[in-house]
Every structure is written in C-alpha cells, then in structure tokens.
Structure 1
Amino acid sequence: MIPKYRAWDKMRKEMNYKVLVGNCDEEDENWTCPIIWIEEAKDWLHFDDYKYIMLSTGLVDKNGQEIFEGDIVDYKGRKAVIKWHGSYASFIYRFIDESQDRKPEWNPLYLAYMKCKIIGNIYENPELLEV
C-alpha cells in the first residue's frame, strides 16, 4: 500500500486531500517530516503550518469512502473516532459516548470498517465529538 495523507489547514479551516509528505533536510538523522506538498498551493510548505497530518487507514467504509485517522464514523448507531495505536500497530476506534468514569476501550478497526459509515472528522466537524 502506498501511504496516503491529508492535512488540516488550521488557518483556512479546510482539509487538503492531495498531500505528499517528504523530507528536504538531508542532514536530519531522524528523518522527521519538516515539509509537505500541498497540491492546491502548488508549493512545499513547512510542517509547522500543517500540524495535523492524518494517514489513510487503507480501508473504506460501507459506502466505499476512504477512512483516515481522525475520521468520525457511525458504527451500529454509535459515533466512534479513528486513531492510530502504535502499541497495537493498528488503526483502532473508540466510541465517543463511552463513560468518562472508566478508561475508554479501543477496538481494532479492521473488524468493523465494512459496517461503519464516515460522518465527519475531528477537525471539520468537532461538534460530532460531543456526547
């Protein structure tokens, strides 16, 4: 799978879906990500301008729409948020309406993606995060 990214432009409050992530600093031993290509701007922009870069999960919802980290989905009538979990090396989801009294339960996305539907994302639709 070729990684696909999107970037939230916090200044213009819009999502950019044609994003290339790269490194222009050959001296950087850590190979961090200081720049991204934004197709709409036809230019490489510094990562600080786009702090919110999300990776595609490589999966699609029941309508065939590509699921990205940060998406909010409807799964069995409940809202859930998608996140990358490094310890599990997997994309996971958590129901938004879970009780704040206990530790939230994260579930593997690959078990649910064909039954969920994207309804928004955490940046363009923050109101969906409300219980």
Structure 2
Amino acid sequence: MIPKFRAWFDSEMYDEPVVYDGEFYLDWREFADGETYNDAVLMQSTGLFDTFHQDELFEDDVILWTYFDEFEDSGNARIVYRDGCWKLLDIKTGKEVWDSLFECLENCNVYLAGNIYENPELVEGSS
C-alpha cells in the first residue's frame, strides 16, 4: 500500500499534499518550484473508512462509535498511530479504547465526526 497523506497548514486542510524525498509540498506546482512547508501537520490515512458515508479515516480524525445493537456502550475517540497500529483515544479521558481502530470497525458502527484541526470543538474540555 502506498501511504496517503493530507495536511493541515495555516488554518487550511490540503487533501492532496505531495511528499517526496522527505520534503513536503502543498501541491505539484510548489513541488516543481521547490517550495516546501515544514510547519505543516501531516496526517496519514488509516486505509479504513467509516460505516455510514465511506469517508476515509485519517490520523487525528474524531469518530463516534456505537455497538451494532445500539444498546451497549458508545463514545467519541481520536485516531492516533501508536505501538505500530491505529489506536483510539477517548475524547474525555485520553485513555485508549478498543485494542485498535480495526477492532472497533469490526464490532461497531463508526461515524466520522471531524478532525482536531478543523473541528476543535470536538475535543474541547478533553484531558
């Protein structure tokens, strides 16, 4: 799988950034001009998609998960890469929930609520 990234830079999300030889460019035009952006935050794709709209899930996205039967537990979590896999951190406690994002998707409905950069209100008041 070829890694896929998006980037947050200067209060704007770029869905198709260019990464080449360890340098980051916001688009191919800047790549040709040699202009780089070292302050951009890169977010890698998990390669997985939410249950409802098939939206691609990226690092630092915030999801709402509910068990399939909808009578059990549910929660909001931030996607992070930790210990070699995609993990979920509970928004309120900051603690890991589920063993991995993949396990959550196998057992729950998952809805992409936003990300921590474009939707900071999703994580306000979290630890």
* TM bracket (short chain): 0.7 to 0.9
Which consecutive residues of structure 1, in runs of 5 or more, have no partner in the other structure? 24-32
- C-alpha distance in structure 1 between counterparts of 2:64 and 2:104, whole Å: 10
Three-state SS of the structure 2 residue aligned to 1:97 is: coil
Q: Match for 1:74 among 55, 64, 82?
A: 64
Three-state SS of the structure 2 residue aligned to 1:43 is: helix
Tell me by how many angstroms 1:43 deviates. 0.7
Tell me by how many angstroms 1:106 deviates. 4.3
TM-score for both structures, normalised by structure 2 = 0.78
- C-alpha distance in structure 2 between counterparts of 1:105 and 1:91, whole Å: 11
Tell me by how many angstroms 1:2 deviates. 1.5
Whether 1:17 aligns to 2:15 is yes
The CA RMSD measured in Å over matched residues stands at 1.8
C-alpha distance after superposition, 1:56-86 (max 9, x if no partner): 000001021100001000112421100001x
- What residue number does 2:87 align with? 92
- C-alpha distance in structure 2 between counterparts of 1:68 and 1:105, whole Å: 17
Displaced runs of 4+ in structure 1, greater than 3 A? none
- C-alpha distance in structure 1 between counterparts of 2:37 and 2:80, whole Å: 20
Q: Match for 2:96 among 97, 101, 105?
A: 105
TM-score for both structures, normalised by structure 1 = 0.76
Q: How many residues align?
A: 111
Give the % identical residues.
Answer: 32
Whether 1:56 aligns to 2:45 is yes
